[in-house]
């Protein structure tokens, strides 16, 4: 484990402040859930908790079905990383960080649909040169937990109503699964 040189004391209520620099680097926002556990060496570990990450194998199967149905490469992301993919090399995208652009779109709770002739490309995953065609945020119990993204096809064709509805339904379904 890497030492940061920052020391914090626990207050009388058992609280500790995570320094702003670490919160910014790890994209930890107010209200984010953190998993707290210990290892065999007696270290206390704080890890960002991803509710959709618990459904990663299910999300992967759902992405496969969506890809077969609409023919567009599909990504399922939590609020920080891509957790499932189909129609594109999983090694290329899974566990990669999402872009701040995708993060902002999820926070705004708005769907993105690429329109014909649109010059500005929306890149959902850092270090991957594939633009998004459709993006729908996943909400669970009123909280944003991730997004379902269909990438642009090689032909560059814009998505039709069917593809748009499929992505919306997928996001709604995954959100409902997390509530149960």
Q: pLDDT by residue (tens digit) across 37-59?
A: 888 888 888 877 766 667 778 88
Count of other CB atoms within 10 angstroms of residue 131: 16
Spatial neighbors of 41 by CB under 8 A, at least 6 apart, are none
Give me the long-range contacts of 128-134 (CB less than 8 A, separation at least 24): 128/92, 128/93, 128/96, 130/73, 130/88, 132/102, 133/72, 133/158, 133/159, 133/163, 134/72, 134/159, 134/163, 134/164, 134/167
Model confidence at 114: pLDDT above 80: yes
Q: For residue 4, name the pLDDT band (cuts at 50, 70, 90).
A: low
Beta partners for residue 82, in sequence order: 77
Q: pLDDT by residue (tens digit) across 138-155?
A: 998 888 889 999 999 888
CB-CB contact of 88 with 151 (8 Å) = yes
Q: For residue 172, name the pLDDT band (cuts at 50, 70, 90).
A: very high
Model confidence at 110: pLDDT above 60: yes
CB-CB contact of 124 with 98 (8 Å) = yes
User: Which domains are seen in the chain, by residue range?
Assistant: 1-49 (2.10.260.10), 52-179 (3.30.450.40)
Nearest-10 Cα torsion for 74, 95, 180, 176: -30
Six-digit token string for 18: 């995570």
CB-CB contact of 146 with 52 (8 Å) = yes
The reported pLDDT for the residue numbered 22 is 83
If you average pLDDT over every residue of the chain, what do you get? 87
């Amino acid at each position: 484990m890497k030492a940061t040189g920052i020391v914090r004391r626990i207050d009388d209520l058992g609280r500790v402040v995570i320094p702003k620099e670490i919160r910014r680097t790890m994209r930890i926002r107010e209200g984010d859930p953190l998993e707290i556990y210990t290892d065999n060496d007696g270290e206390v570990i704080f890890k960002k908790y991803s509710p959709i990450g618990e459904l990663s194998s299910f999300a992967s199967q759902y992405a496969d079905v969506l890809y077969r149905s609409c023919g567009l490469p599909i990504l399922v992301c939590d609020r920080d990383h891509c957790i499932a993919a189909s129609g594109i090399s999983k090694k290329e995208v899974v566990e990669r960080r999402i872009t701040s652009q995708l993060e902002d779109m999820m926070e705004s709770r708005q769907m993105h649909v690429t329109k014909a002739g649109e010059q500005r490309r929306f890149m959902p995953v850092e270090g991957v040169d594939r633009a998004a065609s459709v993006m729908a945020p996943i909400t669970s119990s009123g909280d944003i937990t991730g997004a379902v993204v269909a990438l642009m096809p090689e032909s560059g064709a814009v998505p039709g109503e069917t593809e748009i509805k499929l992505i919306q339904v997928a996001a709604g379904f995954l959100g409902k699964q997390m509530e149960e």
